[in-house]
Structure 1
Amino acid sequence: MHLLAATPGSIDDGKEPVDLGQTPADVVFISAADTELAALSEARSEMADAPTLRLANLTHLQHPMSVDLHIEACATKSKLVIARVLGGAGYWKYGLEQYAAHLHDAGVPFVALPGDDKPDPDLWRLSTVPREDYDALWAYMVEGGPANASGFLAYTRVMLDGTDKPAAATPLLRAGVYWPGAGVADLEAARENWTQGAPVVPLIFYRALVQGAGLHPINRMVKAMLRQGLNPLPVFVASLKDPVSVATLEQLFTTAPPDVILNCTSFAVGSPHQGDHHAGALNPLAMEAAKGCTVFQVVLAASSEDAWEDGLTGLSARDIAMNVALPEVDGRILSRAISFKGEAYFDEATECPIAAYRARGDRVTFVAELAANWARLRNEVPEKRKVALVL
C-alpha cells in the first residue's frame, strides 16, 4: 500500500491513505470546505494572540489509515479538536468514531459540528464540551466571514485558558448584494459603478464565497463585465431554494430588471418553469421579475486547472453532474468554467495547503463577451435579428 501526500484542491477517493504530516497544536480544525480552511488561515495570520492551529481537509481523511495516522501523530497530542461535517455522522462514520474514542481516552475535548445550520443530535452526542461552547463555535462557522473566523479562534483560546469570551457571532445576511472592495453592500453601491442605460447582468453565487475566501473569480467577472459596457449586479445567496434568497432576488430583479443572468450556483431547483409546482421548488431565475431573460450557467470548478487542461474529459464527473447536467434541468445554458481549485499557498503556521478558486482570464473574458452579445441581441428589434439553425 502506498502512502500519499495531501494534494490541495483535490478530492481524495479514499482508495489510498494520505499522511497529512501534521504536528500537535492548541487547536485542530477539520473541514471539507476549502473556504473555511482559507478563512481560518487568514484570520490566524491577522491575530496577535491566536492559538497555535492545525487545519486539516476532511477529504484527505477518508481512508481509515489516514484517520489513524492523524489521530496518533497530531490530534491526541493537541488540546482541542473540532470537526465540521457536512452530511451528518454517516458521511464520515469511521473518522468520527475514531476521533471521538481516542480523544476521549486522551482527555482532549472534541467538538463535532454540523457542516450547515441544521442541528444534528448524533454529532452533539459525540462531542465532549459544554453546550454553551458548542453552540458558540457552531454559530461563528454558520455565519462565516472574516470577523466571525477571528471570533471562532478567539473563542477556542478562551476554552483553553479561561479568559474573557469574545463577542458572539455577527449575523451575515442570507442573501444580498456584494461589490468588490466594498464587501456586503446594496444596490446603490453597485449603481455607483454602472453606466447609465447599460444592460444589467446579475451574477449569482453562493454565500459561502463571502463567508470564506473564494471571491477571486467573482471580482474578476465583475471587472470583465464592466469592460464590456455592462452593469454587473453580483448577488450572493444561501441557495436558490432558500426563501430569503428567492425574495431578495425578486426584489432586486424588480428594481433593476435583468437583461441576462449569469448563475454560479450548482445543482437544479427542479424545473425550467416558474409554475411547475409538481416538478419541485419554484425556479427563482424563471420568476416574472426575471423578465424571461436567458440564464447562463458559469462553472466554478472544484477540480484543478491542471486536471482540466491535461485530462481527456475536461471537467471532472462531479463538476459535470453539479454544474452542467443538473443545471440544464432548470433550463440554464452552459457557458464556461471560469475558475479552478488549486493551491494558493502552503500555510506553514497551520501546516496545511490552502486551496482557493483562481480565475482564468481568457475564460472570464469569454463569458463577459457572451453576456454582452446576448444582452445586445435581447435589446435588438426582432426584424434585425438573424436566426441560425445549428445541427
Structure 2
Amino acid sequence: GTEAHHSDTPEPTSLPAAVPDETALLALGDAHILLLSHADTDLLTLNQAAHTLPADFHPVRGVNLSSLPTTSHVDEFIHTELADVQVIILRSLGGRQGFIHGFDRLVQYAKQQNKDLICIPGTEGLDPELTAHSTVPVPVIHDVYRYLHYGGIDNMRQMLYFLADHLLAGGWGFEQPVEQPRHGIYWPETTLNHRQRLAVSSQRSAVEEWLAVHDRSRPTIAILFYRSHWLSGNTDFIDALIDQIEADGGNALPIFTTSLKETTPVPDQTPTSPSTSNSKNPTNSSNAINSMNSTNSPPAAFDYLYTPTGDLIPDVIISTISFAMGGINPDGPTAAGWNVSTLEALNIPILQAISSGMRAEEWQLNQRGLRPLDVAMNVALPEFDGRIITVPISFKGESKQQKNGSTCCGEAVCTCTDDQRSAVSGQRYIPVPDRIRAVINQAMRYAVLRHKPNRHKRIVFMLTNSPGKADRIGNAVGLDTPASLLQLFAAMQAQGYLIENIPASGDALLHELIDRCSYDETLLTESQLSRAAGRVPVETYAGWFDQLTPSQQRRMHDRWQAPPGEAYVHLDAQGLEQHLALAGLEMGNVFVALQPPRCYGMDPDAIYHTPDLPP
C-alpha cells in the first residue's frame, strides 16, 4: 500500500484568497462532478463512462494533475474552474506529496465552499492522511476508492451514480463495485474477422476458448500490455497490432496484466465463498497480490502462454510493458526472487514495442528522438531482460468522443458542436501504422525462423569498425572480440549451425578480413575491391536511393554527390558493371561483416560531432 505522508510537511506560505460563497447559488441538479488524477487511463475511463450516462445526468469533468504543475496554476484553476463543481475526487499518485504544491489549497477551498472533497491514493491501500483531509463520510471514501481501484468503465459509471445519490440528492440507483481480473486474454471485434470479444474467465477456460478459434499451424505472436489500458478502453494500439498480425497470416494472443513482477498465485487454502470461488484463478487479485515476487515463480501473465497440457503457444512475444522483470544480480536470483530461468523456460524472442508518452509531433521534431524517460523505461531497462528493442508504435494524443462512443465526427477537422463532445477529453495511445507494420514484419520473421532447422539458418555477425580503420576492427576495451567470436562459432556448431572455413585463431580471422577487403582507404586496393564478399550493383542501389524522400535525397546529394558516390565503388574486370563493395567473410551459413563507416574523406572528429550527417 501507499505509505501515509505525515502532517509535518510545511504549509504553503500563501493560500488562495477566499472566494465568494458559490455553493449557496449552486443547485444540486446542476452540480458538476470533477475527477483530478495523475493517470491518463483514469480520465480516459471517465471519458468512456460519460458517454453512457443519461442526457440529464450531472455534468462530468476530468483534469490531469500534470496540467497543474505550480501553485499559480492551481490558484487559477480554483478561481476559474470550480464554481460549478460540487463533488471533487482527487486521486493522487504519491498521496499528499504527489500534489504537494496544490493539495492544501484545494482542501482549504473545499472546506470554505462546502464542497464534497474525496482524497484517495492512486496505488494499493487507503492513505490515512488523505482520508483525514477529505470532507465526506469515511464510508463514501472507501467505496469511491474501491470503484476506482477495481477499475473499468462500468465501475466508473456506477461510481458516478453512487456519488450522485449520496452527495447530490439523486435517485439514479447504483451497483456495488465489481473486482476486475488482474490478468487475462483480450480479444476485440476486429475489422478482419468480426470475432466477438473472448470472455474473461479463468486462465484455463480463456486459453481453451482462444485455442478453439485459432489455427495453430499459423505463426502465433503474443502481445503483452498493461491491464489499465484494457480497463480504460485505451486499446487502439493493441487492436492495430492484432489486425496487422492477422493481415500477415498469423495468430494474435493479446494478454493484459498488471505487471510482469506479479507472479502466479499460490492456491488459497481458505474456504471459498460465492465471491471468491476458484481460488486457483490467476485473475483473483487477493491471491495475486499475496504471491507477488515469490521465489522463481513466473509472471502470472505467462500462464496464458501455455495450453492446458503445458505446451507453449506463441512463437514470439511482443511486449509493450515498461521496465525489466527484475533487478540485476549477477550472483543469482534478484532481491525480488526473479531470475533468468523464467525467460529460459520460454526460449522464444521477446520484442519490445515502445508506447511513447510523447506526442508524435514532439518526437518528429526532437533530434534525440525519444525523451530520456521513454528511453529509460522502454529501452534501457527492458534490455536487461534480453528483449529485442524495436521502434515506437504509438504516441499519446487527444481523444474526444461523441455520446454514442464514436470518435468525434471522423473528419480531419472536427465539425462537432460543443454539446456533441464530452466534457472529458482523454489521452490515448495513437498507433503509427508504418511502425506497426515494421514490428509485426519483424515478429513474423522470427516466428518463421523458430521452426527452421539450425543448419538452414543464416546468421550475420557485424564487427564494430569505427572509424573504418583496419587496426580498429572489433575494437572493444578489455575484450578479445575475435577470440570470443570463435568460441561462439564452436557453440553454434554444437547446436547444428552450418559454419565452414573457421580460421585457426582470432588473429587469423582479422587478417583474413583485412586481406579480403576492408574499409581502410589507406590499405584498400582495386584487387581487394574486386574480391569483396558483398557486391551491390549500382542499379540496385539506385532503386534504393529512389525510395528516399526528396529531402533525404537532396541531403545525400549535397554531401556525397550523385549516387552511388565515389567510395568503395568498383568496376568489374570487363568494365561493364559497377558495384558497391561490402567487406566481410563468408563461412558457410555465417557471414562476418565489418561495420561500414558513416562517411569518407572527413576528419573523424567532425564525423563524431555531426549527428545529423547523412550516412
Counterpart of 1:53, as a letter, is V
Q: Does 1:111 align with 2:118?
A: yes
Match of residue 251 from structure 2: 231
Runs of 5+ unmatched residues, structure 2 = 1-25, 190-196, 201-205, 265-281, 283-297, 403-417, 465-615
Q: CA deviation at 1:275?
A: 9.6
Match of residue 356 from structure 1: 428
Q: CA deviation at 1:334?
A: 0.6
Change over 3 Å in CA distance of 1:249–1:77 after alignment to 2: closer
Q: CA deviation at 1:55?
A: 1.1
User: Which of 144, 151, 156 does residue 144 from structure 1 map onto?
Assistant: 151
Aligned partners of 2:225 and 2:255 also within 8 Å: yes
Aligned partners of 1:274 and 1:286 also within 8 Å: no
Is the partner of 2:318 in helix, strand or coil?
strand
Deviations 1:44-96 (A, max 9, x none): 12211432122111110111111111112223552111111112221111211
Change over 3 Å in CA distance of 1:227–1:346 after alignment to 2: closer
Q: Does 1:270 align with 2:326?
A: yes
Aligned partners of 2:260 and 2:300 also within 8 Å: no
User: Which of 264, 279, 301 does residue 249 from structure 1 map onto?
Assistant: 301
Counterpart of 2:106, as a letter, is Y
Q: CA deviation at 1:249?
A: 2.9
Superposition map of 1:208-219 within 5 A: 208-219=228-239
User: Which of 383, 386, 390 does residue 458 from structure 2 map onto?
Assistant: 386
Q: Does 1:296 align with 2:302?
A: no
Change over 3 Å in CA distance of 1:209–1:284 after alignment to 2: farther
Match of residue 170 from structure 1: 178
| Larger helix proportion of the pair | 1
Match of residue 388 from structure 2: 333
Runs of 5+ unmatched residues, structure 1 = 1-22
TM-score by length of 2: 0.56
Match of residue 306 from structure 1: 361
More off after superposition, 187-196 vs 318-327:
187-196
Is the partner of 1:388 in helix, strand or coil?
strand
Change over 3 Å in CA distance of 1:45–1:304 after alignment to 2: same
Higher RCO (CA 8 Å, separation ≥ 6 residues): 1
Change over 3 Å in CA distance of 1:153–1:276 after alignment to 2: farther
Q: CA deviation at 1:123?
A: 1.5
Aligned partners of 2:164 and 2:172 also within 8 Å: no
The percentage of aligned residue pairs carrying the same residue is 27
Match of residue 588 from structure 2: none
More off after superposition, 163-172 vs 147-156:
163-172
Is the partner of 2:62 in helix, strand or coil?
strand
Deviations 1:233-263 (A, max 9, x none): 1000011111346554343233151321111
Q: Does 1:160 align with 2:215?
A: no
User: Which of 367, 372, 378 does residue 439 from structure 2 map onto?
Assistant: 367
More off after superposition, 184-193 vs 61-70:
184-193
Q: CA deviation at 1:151?
A: 0.7
Aligned partners of 1:275 and 1:282 also within 8 Å: no
Q: CA deviation at 1:228?
A: 2.1
Is the partner of 1:243 in helix, strand or coil?
coil
Deviations 1:281-329 (A, max 9, x none): 4168934552x11111111111111111222111122111111111112
Q: CA deviation at 1:172?
A: 0.8
Change over 3 Å in CA distance of 1:311–1:82 after alignment to 2: same
Q: Does 1:282 align with 2:354?
A: no
Q: Distance in 1 between matches of 2:334 and 2:423?
A: 49
Is the partner of 2:42 in helix, strand or coil?
helix
Cα RMSD for the two superposed structures:
2.5
How many residues of Structure 1 are paired with residues of Structure 2 in the alignment? 368
Is the partner of 1:198 in helix, strand or coil?
coil
Match of residue 32 from structure 1: 38
Match of residue 4 from structure 1: none
Counterpart of 1:282, as a letter, is W
Aligned partners of 1:274 and 1:283 also within 8 Å: no
Match of residue 222 from structure 2: 202
Is the partner of 1:27 in helix, strand or coil?
strand
Q: Distance in 1 between matches of 2:93 and 2:106?
A: 16
Is the partner of 2:444 in helix, strand or coil?
helix
Change over 3 Å in CA distance of 1:302–1:324 after alignment to 2: same
Aligned partners of 1:30 and 1:56 also within 8 Å: yes
Q: Distance in 2 between matches of 1:274 and 1:173?
A: 34
Aligned partners of 1:76 and 1:106 also within 8 Å: no
